[in-house]
Structure 1
Amino acid sequence: MGKKIVELEPETPFHTFTTDEVTEHLKTSILEGLSSEEAAERLKTYGPNELEGNGGVKWYKVLWRQIANALVAVLLIATVLAFATQDYAEGGVILFVIVMNAAIGFWQEFNAEQTMEALRNMSSPTAQVIRDETRVTIPNNQAVPGDIMIFEDGDVIGADCRLFEVFNLETDEALLTGESLPVQKNLAIIENAEEALGDRLNMVFASTTVVKGRAKGIVTSTAMATQIGKIATSLNNVDSDEQTPLQKRLNKMAYFVFLAAILLVIVVFGVHNFKYSNEAAIYAISVSIAIIPEGLIAVVTLTMAFGVSRMAEVKAIVRRLSSLESLGAVTNVCSDKTGTLTQSKMVAVRMWLPSSGFFRITGTGFVPQGEIFCQGEMTDGDFQEQEQQVANGSGSNPFLRTIQAASLCNMAELRRNQHPETHGEWSAIGDPTEIALQVLAYKADLAKPDLVSQGFNLVAEFPFDSSVKRMSVLFEAPSTNDAPGEHFIFTKGATERVLGCCNSWLEGDVEHRIGGEKGGDRAAFESRINEKMNILAERGLRVLTLAYRKYEVVPGVDLVHGLVREEIESNMVFLGLVGIYDPPRAESRPAVLRCYEAGIRVHMLTGDHPSTAAAIAKEVAIIPEDVPVKNNPLIMTAAQFDAMSEEEIDRLEELPRVVARCSPDTKVKMIAALHRRNLFATMTGDGVNDSPSLKAANVGIAMGQSGSDVAKQAADIVLTDDNFATIVKAVAEGRRMFANIQKFVQHLMSANVAEIVVLIVGLAFKDDQRMAVFPMSPVEILFLNMITSSPPAMGLGLEPPSESNMREPPRSATQGLFTFEVVMDTFIYGLAMGALSFASFVAVVFGFGGGEMGAHCNTEWSIDCEPVFRARATSYTCLTMLILAHAVNCRSLRESGWKIQNLKTLKHNKMLWMSIVIGALLVLPVLYIPGFNRDVFKHSPITYEWGLVAAALVIFIAFAEVYKMIKVKTMKPLGLEANSQAEMERMRMVMTTVSHNDSAIEHNEKTKDS
């Protein structure tokens, strides 16, 4: 089972090599990468890129957990006592039950642990590499020496790499060097082979984090050959013994049951005047066995494993088991917009330039085919002239510079697949917004690859930062007539963040200063820009603003590391606006409405403009379609929300449903506000800066496709499809799992209560020797607990969600398994089953057997004991059938389980109906196999007593139906009275009764303006 790890000359000082020397040494290509076949061969040679930890699932630890608990201790005591009293048949059966219970529990938990291990591997960090000349994403453990690895802001570096392409790269290497400040990387060759790790600036190391910038590197070492592998082999160990809150509650319940068992033992000996005898001891052990649900832990393990697997099927990877339990208590979902509520298939559809007016852009998706039409404020002739200038690459007109900015201030890549099976389909890599701008540039024949081939050279990059909401690049233009090329800075980002950097705008070849004679004052100019932006935003378009300026190179200034962002992004020239449409996912609106039906409120926290955010929010039903956006308490900007004090936020009738221009700090503030209202919230995130809000939320959910590795590690759940509907499915699965746990716990504990009722009341019956007569033998009790009760309980753990699963309010976060209703049901059903079973025992002994109890009927059969043995068989058979019938009752707390339509749905749960059928059939061999019945189970075959069993079964089913009818009429309904339409109407009411919030909103507007 051990992994084959071979180090690739770990002492080789790759930091002293040139790029060509590294590629030659590792037999790779920085352009083509490795082939898939070569990568597979190297994976066999060097092994998975994983640190050696605890070696995965340890079978002996799983086995030890099955036998090292209080429940098994009681059974072992019973075994010892049985052998001590020379009751070898009973002792052998109990020992067999112990072994079988451990085996079943081991098999289930071992498989569950293996499933969890596989799922944890699925949620491990990924790596972007170049394979077969194509950029692909692979599990990080599949990386091999020689791979060309690509790093971006927020990535966790998966292997030691020699860099060959760097743009403003800074990494956090505190894990290795203890240095708290990020390390700025470069490509300079280091002469000293013994240089300290912190000074190897042309290398990056596994498990460190990209703080800023991007880069490409050649993988030099993986797994234990990496620097982190040499000094910390246990970094990625997983604590498989960590218990979830549910498991802790069940453990407490087990200890409580154990104490109750001790009290019952004392009661038994008390009835026998505290005189020790073998029969009294065995009766005491029988009572203690009856109260302990031996199969509980195994059933919980199976249910948890099934829940995690179900979550994986709906594309939600559970990283922490506690989150699976918590999902059922979620009251508020805070979601991002782009890619989660929308399709993340952005396309630029509109553009506006100050001197030209609006443009309409045709075409869809990644296909760079479409036309750009001018719609206003310039003639067709003027537009044709500009198009000609663009085609010639001449002039400095706004259209040319705007398209250049969209093309060059952009990291996205557009490719046409050449594989015959794809028929030349277009694909894209990068941020969806940047892809849309790159497609626009292709449509204007100014694609980035073409501009680069013409001589545009990237000098420096200031990547997008959520705190400034913009990105800038410095390019050197092609040289002309032996003169060095000019330098240009291109910027794109949120309008309010880019406008603040601009002091002029472009018309033709002339720059007009804002505030100048033609430009008008700044307030008027910004008002004009905001008016146009609102026109685009109200159509649901995400609006980006583009700007540029010429940059005069200062001699002696390092154009890579000597630039200051604040200086670079100043005195910019405003170019124009681009409106990008990202259509909502078809499943988003139904999912949001389903949330409302489940009593869950949805909040959209996005970086978009308020009008854009509100337009999409209306499309997906987060807010009603007919409400205004302005001065709406349910729609705020981050500036408005952040300016409010905690007291002002707490006075709001309801927290905003839409927060636009949202920053990571705003998300944390929203979570804190929800917590102050005692609400249970889940938060989605994808960026590095989202980690605080993911950790602050009750359930943090990271995006598997667009999310950074830092966000994934901070999250409890990772969505592999970045889809909001998957969040709703996950919540539904969390509710289903918790409800099923309540069902099978109630079923198991009801059976135990029934057994206790029979045994405790049975203490009143004494034989001719004044010893208590067992209404059920210890072996019968064990058989009921392990063979009859546990399989149906497992089936209940696999029950599909009920129709009302998402039409009930979220359970309280502090609510345990044992609600008042569950406890009441447990005792009432248990008392009913116990009473009917004991009544059958009494009927046989006194009604048909003349009340003869015989002597020593607890240990051996005689003709005098026949009435007791037949009565014991009747009581056992009766309780068996009642327990199996009770499994049908437990499928729903209130709804009848015996309606025709509900019985038809039973076929969907194969485990449940098969366990009921097999459990009923097993009664026959237990009753009628000679020797096995009287010597082991201490009962005799029955005949006419089957009529008593049938009568008890009918009475119990009728009782259960009447009991549920009484509960429906007298108890508060489980379902929500409000549906999705009522929730919309309630929001309208909130929006029309905001007088006490107006002052706060106005105050925040003034704060924003100032």
Structure 2
Amino acid sequence: MVKKKTIEVEKQPAFHSLTVEQVAEHYDTHIYEGLTSQQAAERLQTYGPNELQGNGGVKWYKVLWRQVANTLVVILLIATALAFATKDYPEGGVIAAVIIMNAAIGFWQEFNAEQTMEALRNMSSPTSQVIRDETRMTIPNNQAVPGDIMIFEDGDVVGADCRLFEVFNLETDEALLTGESLPVQKNLEFIENEEQSLGDRLNMVFSSTTVVKGRAKGIIISTGMGTQIGQIATTLMEVGNNETTPLQKRLNNMAYWIFFAAMILVVIVFGVHKFVYSNEVAIYAISVAIAMIPEGLVAVVTLTMAFGVNRMAEVKALVRRLSSLESLGAVTNICSDKTGTLTQSKMVAVRMWLPGDGFYRVTGTGFLPQGDIYRQGDHAGDGNVIQSGETKIETGEGGNQFLRAIQAASLCNMAELRKTTNPQVHGEWTAIGDPTEIALQVLAYKAGLAKPELLTQGFNLVAEFPFDSSVKRMSVLYRGPDSESGPGDHLVFLKGATERVIDSCTHWFDGDQERSMQGEKGGIENDAFVNMIMEKVEIMAEQGLRVLSLAYRRYHPEPGVDLVHDLVRDEVEKDLIFLGLVGIYDPPRAESRPAVLQCYDAGIRVHMLTGDHPSTAAAIAKEVAIIPSDVPIKNNPLIMTAPQFDGMTDEEVDKLEELPRVVARCSPTTKVKMIAALHRRNLFAVMTGDGVNDSPSLKAANVGIAMGQSGSDVAKQASDIVLTDDNFATIVKAVAEGRRIFVNIQKFIQHLLSANVAEIVVLVVGLAFKDGDGHSVFPMSPVQILFLNMITSSPPAMGLGLEPASEYNMSEPPRSAKQGLFTYEIIMDTFVYGLAMGLLTFGAFCLVLFGNNGGNLGSGCNNEYSDGCHGVFLARATGYACLTLLLLAHAINCRSLRSPGWTIKNLKTLRRNKMLWISIVFGAILMVPFIYIPGVNRSVFKHTSLSYEWGYVFAVLFIFIGFADFYKWIKRKTMKPLHVRANSELEMERMRSYMSTQTAHEETTEPKLRG
């Protein structure tokens, strides 16, 4: 058992009044290298997991109570009480045993399911970025330990109490702890007062607070119950264990209808007996009510859901809300990000373009800082192809414009490259930071102007304005190296989307000469320059490159201005000098194209919503088959920019025959607008997201999916599902799993309810047979009914819940979002199969009773065996054997709505579902001893041993098998086929046809670059 860090909290020093060095020494850690894996493991044993005690978990008594406190079990309890009241002790004992067994099975299954869900909730809870073994890594938040170096970024939920040692514009929301409604700006200033109030400890951050701006690093000083939030016993991210899903609500409603129908049947039974009460009439009425109730339904649903959640986890999709399992089967549209989801997120800078210098080619792959830079000139072709006449740029060479561009790439950048000294990775290069920034930092290394090198030369960071999706750019303010003539100049470096960077520029470099972007008339934009830039952007973007622009200027602060607190972003990011373009390539994932094509086969349309340039987005969209590869990019109605799409009114969007498949320069509001447009078309949408601002669209979507690796904690909390691999193909696997689960639920509900219909048919028709005392003779005893419902029917139903996906699973249209479990075909099949099984069983009962035993109904045959009741007991045993085998055979019918169930091919596939075929074999074998064991057969089940009657049993079985396949043949001939799907090629052709119908003169509105 791990030790609990509770008493030691009082002995801890006031860390806010210690220096960073003292804190690091206290926990024996290093702010750059972090802890080793061995140190972290030892401290986890010492301090325990980083989680709050008593914050939920699985309570066994609550699970047990749920097994008893439902309508179905209450009816059985009433039946038990009445059986004992009428002194029918064998039946009462069996019913009580069934209740106990049902509760035990349900408890075991649901308790395991709850534990699985609890484990998955822990897995999908906020993660933490820490430095261990000199490498930045993502760990589950409950694995963080004191002494870990934790990294915070915009949107993160702080995982532990930390003493900060590196801060850039950090602001946190501490309303949870202090009640302060405004974000708190953090700094590294030393605090002498050990009793400083919590809200004024500005050099610390606290567990469960949220980073609303900036970034930072800190040393963990407290975890779990030792944190400030732990000391006041508060938990923010508790996920309810008793979530009621739409499926559960539908099943609850079904239970009420079943209860209502059972009561009507009870009234009918008493009505047939002229409402004269007797023990036999009461027991018969109870038997009918029991036959109406699918006792195993709760356990089967629980098992199916638990298995589905586990299967989703195996394909790297963590389910945070059970309702999403049901929703996935109805998905019609998937709105996906590009970077890291459809692509590998392994970015590398391969091209540059500088005005006056032309194109540059960059060699090398990944974040290994090895490669060369070649100047190609303005007529260069593919950046990856060696060009004649290109010039290699040696380290440190290049004109002023080239050097400034590399400085901007290096310094306007928070990524870190380091060659680790960890012997386990043999000195390999590792990278920390955003993939785009890593690519730019690698470029700087190749040019000999790495960030560490520039910092040693005297560049000092003064302020940072982080990347924001609303402005699509990032800037930093540095003070340059001092010289003999005085202190260094202040320099602003900026990078971002080209149109947003140009917005901030008034000059540009032509070679090493600075030129104004103003025309002859002051204040008029130099359209020729803008057109030149956008032409180069198009050249690079059409090659699938993500294009960033770089700019800089000298900054002259006003006297008395505080360069930390008084800076205004708009004032810093203006009057800049445009430096050039960098082209970054992010290759698509190998599995993305097959996954997109699979979506089209399944009738699901895929949309890419990305912040990239339209040509870059379109090039990648073609590679992964979101749009046809042979369609033009210009004037393509399937490709829009966010300004175009956002500029349309809802009415204009609704008039579009097709919503755009690619939306470039996308903002969070664009995603919300797309979801709203899909909902107005009654479509069912998945939305992916990773940023803080993606939360509204994740919540608005029918299923919100957050990225587990790159996603912020805020996005994860707003999502229904978290992908642990950030892979688009995983989304498609999750949709396939959602479809499988929904279809399987329909299968086992049909099986269970068909059994109930069959039993009701036998019992209701049996009301016509009266014995010598005027009482109806039971064609089936109460124990037989319970045994058939619980032991015979439930295990195959569980097997149907675990049925593998059919070959048509992803080649059928998505089900309607309004479509419930009970479609017309499901209801029809339930009654047709139920009536067939009921009538065949009753027919066998009558053949034995009247054909071979003279139709002697005896007297008191519902209670005990006598010579006069031999025929009734024999007929009852025959009916029991018939219905047992029919229910087991019907499980094979339920595997498919239309396909023949008894072909050799279908029976071979049965081997894939061990639960199903084992339950069928076990059910058939178990039937035999209860027919022949003396005492049990006549006293408990109210039937007797069979001999030649087995001939009737097997004849009934073969008739039913023939009827079932004939019925399915009729359905195949008369009903609309299930598998009429347009495949991916037809979908591509449909998109081409849509484009061709657009008028040739229709102009695409270009996004404005200014204003």
Separation in 2 of the partners of 1:7 and 1:186? 30
Deviation at 1:50, TM superposition (A): 1.3
**Counterpart amino acid of residue 391 in structure 1:** G
From the superposition, tell whether residues 854 and 998 of structure 1 become closer, same or farther in structure 2 (CA, over 3 Å): farther
Indicate the residue corresponding to 2:6 in structure 1. Answer: 6
Separation in 2 of the partners of 1:2 and 1:127? 21
**TM-score normalised by structure 2 residue count:** 0.96
Matched, 1:547 2:551: yes
Deviation at 1:421, TM superposition (A): 4.7
Separation in 1 of the partners of 2:575 and 2:161? 41
Contact 2:333 2:686 in 1 (8 A): yes
Contact 2:499 2:1009 in 1 (8 A): no
Deviation at 1:204, TM superposition (A): 1.1
Indicate the residue corresponding to 1:296 in structure 2. Answer: 297
Deviation at 1:481, TM superposition (A): 3.1
Structure 1, residues 708-728: CA drift from partner, whole Å, max 9, x if none? Answer: 111111110000000000000
Q: Secondary structure at the match of 2:377?
A: coil
Separation in 2 of the partners of 1:289 and 1:977? 43
Separation in 2 of the partners of 1:721 and 1:378? 40
Matched, 1:621 2:628: no
- Of the candidates 962, 965, 968, which is equivalent to residue 969 of structure 2? 965
Indicate the residue corresponding to 1:121 in structure 2. Answer: 122
Separation in 2 of the partners of 1:420 and 1:42? 22
* Mean Cα deviation higher: 297-306 or 423-432: 423-432
Contact 1:639 1:1008 in 2 (8 A): no
Separation in 2 of the partners of 1:382 and 1:191? 65
Deviation at 1:850, TM superposition (A): 0.9
From the superposition, tell whether residues 377 and 682 of structure 1 become closer, same or farther in structure 2 (CA, over 3 Å): closer
Matched, 1:228 2:229: yes
**Counterpart amino acid of residue 396 in structure 2:** A
Indicate the residue corresponding to 2:134 in structure 1. Answer: 133
Contact 2:135 2:430 in 1 (8 A): no
* Mean Cα deviation higher: 307-316 or 861-870: 861-870
Q: Secondary structure at the match of 1:994?
A: coil
Separation in 1 of the partners of 2:116 and 2:366? 38
Matches within 5 A, 1:660-671: 660-671=664-675
Indicate the residue corresponding to 1:735 in structure 2. Answer: 739
Separation in 2 of the partners of 1:371 and 1:517? 41
Separation in 1 of the partners of 2:651 and 2:521? 47
Separation in 2 of the partners of 1:867 and 1:1008? 93
Contact 1:600 1:810 in 2 (8 A): yes
Separation in 2 of the partners of 1:42 and 1:977? 57
Indicate the residue corresponding to 2:241 in structure 1. Answer: 240
From the superposition, tell whether residues 363 and 322 of structure 1 become closer, same or farther in structure 2 (CA, over 3 Å): same
Contact 1:840 1:948 in 2 (8 A): yes
Structure 1, residues 24-81: CA drift from partner, whole Å, max 9, x if none? Answer: 3334332332333333333233222112344410000000000111211121222222
Indicate the residue corresponding to 1:306 in structure 2. Answer: 307
Matched, 1:492 2:495: yes
Matched, 1:19 2:20: yes
**Counterpart amino acid of residue 589 in structure 1:** R
From the superposition, tell whether residues 528 and 435 of structure 1 become closer, same or farther in structure 2 (CA, over 3 Å): same
Contact 2:355 2:511 in 1 (8 A): no
Deviation at 1:381, TM superposition (A): 13
Indicate the residue corresponding to 2:592 in structure 1. Answer: 588
Indicate the residue corresponding to 1:208 in structure 2. Answer: 209
- Of the candidates 410, 413, 416, which is equivalent to residue 413 of structure 1? 416
- Of the candidates 450, 458, 480, which is equivalent to residue 447 of structure 1? 450
* Mean Cα deviation higher: 534-543 or 475-484: 475-484
- Of the candidates 469, 477, 502, which is equivalent to residue 480 of structure 2? 477
Contact 1:793 1:887 in 2 (8 A): yes
**Counterpart amino acid of residue 726 in structure 1:** T
**Counterpart amino acid of residue 988 in structure 1:** R
Structure 1, residues 863-900: CA drift from partner, whole Å, max 9, x if none? Answer: 11111111100000000000000000000111111111
Indicate the residue corresponding to 1:819 in structure 2. Answer: 823
Matched, 1:769 2:773: yes
From the superposition, tell whether residues 361 and 1006 of structure 1 become closer, same or farther in structure 2 (CA, over 3 Å): closer
Deviation at 1:84, TM superposition (A): 2.3
Contact 1:640 1:1008 in 2 (8 A): no
Indicate the residue corresponding to 2:384 in structure 1. Answer: none
From the superposition, tell whether residues 851 and 284 of structure 1 become closer, same or farther in structure 2 (CA, over 3 Å): same
Structure 1: runs of 5+ lacking an equivalent: none
**Counterpart amino acid of residue 9 in structure 1:** V
Indicate the residue corresponding to 1:46 in structure 2. Answer: 47
Indicate the residue corresponding to 1:280 in structure 2. Answer: 281
* Mean Cα deviation higher: 723-732 or 442-451: 442-451
Q: Secondary structure at the match of 2:818?
A: coil
* Mean Cα deviation higher: 702-711 or 453-462: 453-462
Separation in 2 of the partners of 1:926 and 1:9? 65
Contact 2:170 2:216 in 1 (8 A): yes
- Root mean square deviation of aligned Cα: 2.1
**Counterpart amino acid of residue 13 in structure 1:** A
Contact 1:414 1:428 in 2 (8 A): yes
From the superposition, tell whether residues 482 and 515 of structure 1 become closer, same or farther in structure 2 (CA, over 3 Å): closer
Indicate the residue corresponding to 1:318 in structure 2. Answer: 319
Structure 1, residues 264-303: CA drift from partner, whole Å, max 9, x if none? Answer: 1111111111111111111111111001000000000000
Indicate the residue corresponding to 1:251 in structure 2. Answer: 252
Separation in 2 of the partners of 1:955 and 1:747? 19
**Counterpart amino acid of residue 429 in structure 1:** I
Contact 2:3 2:46 in 1 (8 A): no
Deviation at 1:595, TM superposition (A): 0.7
Q: Secondary structure at the match of 2:396?
A: helix
From the superposition, tell whether residues 946 and 25 of structure 1 become closer, same or farther in structure 2 (CA, over 3 Å): same
Q: Secondary structure at the match of 1:130?
A: strand
Contact 1:51 1:236 in 2 (8 A): no
From the superposition, tell whether residues 1008 and 456 of structure 1 become closer, same or farther in structure 2 (CA, over 3 Å): closer
Deviation at 1:356, TM superposition (A): 1.1
Indicate the residue corresponding to 1:61 in structure 2. Answer: 62
Matched, 1:679 2:680: no
Indicate the residue corresponding to 1:512 in structure 2. Answer: 515
Indicate the residue corresponding to 2:190 in structure 1. Answer: 189
Matches within 5 A, 1:620-699: 620-699=624-703
Deviation at 1:351, TM superposition (A): 1.0
Separation in 1 of the partners of 2:342 and 2:293? 48
Separation in 2 of the partners of 1:9 and 1:866? 79
From the superposition, tell whether residues 1006 and 250 of structure 1 become closer, same or farther in structure 2 (CA, over 3 Å): closer
Contact 1:547 1:575 in 2 (8 A): yes
From the superposition, tell whether residues 583 and 684 of structure 1 become closer, same or farther in structure 2 (CA, over 3 Å): same
Matched, 1:981 2:982: no
Contact 1:3 1:48 in 2 (8 A): no
Contact 2:441 2:450 in 1 (8 A): yes
Contact 2:689 2:715 in 1 (8 A): yes
Structure 2: runs of 5+ lacking an equivalent: 381-386
Contact 1:493 1:546 in 2 (8 A): yes
Separation in 2 of the partners of 1:378 and 1:314? 47
Separation in 2 of the partners of 1:8 and 1:338? 45
Structure 1, residues 441-492: CA drift from partner, whole Å, max 9, x if none? Answer: 1221222222223322222111110011011112222223373223221111
- Of the candidates 886, 899, 902, which is equivalent to residue 903 of structure 2? 899
Q: Secondary structure at the match of 2:529?
A: helix
From the superposition, tell whether residues 975 and 100 of structure 1 become closer, same or farther in structure 2 (CA, over 3 Å): same
**Counterpart amino acid of residue 739 in structure 2:** R
Deviation at 1:676, TM superposition (A): 0.8
Deviation at 1:933, TM superposition (A): 0.8
Separation in 2 of the partners of 1:723 and 1:138? 19
Indicate the residue corresponding to 1:435 in structure 2. Answer: 438
Indicate the residue corresponding to 1:789 in structure 2. Answer: 793
Matched, 1:717 2:721: yes
**Counterpart amino acid of residue 35 in structure 2:** L
Structure 1, residues 412-444: CA drift from partner, whole Å, max 9, x if none? Answer: 122334444534433322111111111211221
Indicate the residue corresponding to 2:471 in structure 1. Answer: 468
Separation in 1 of the partners of 2:606 and 2:942? 61
**Counterpart amino acid of residue 404 in structure 1:** Q
Identity of aligned residues (%): 74
Deviation at 1:730, TM superposition (A): 0.4
Count of residue correspondences: 1003
Separation in 1 of the partners of 2:549 and 2:726? 26
Separation in 1 of the partners of 2:1010 and 2:561? 37
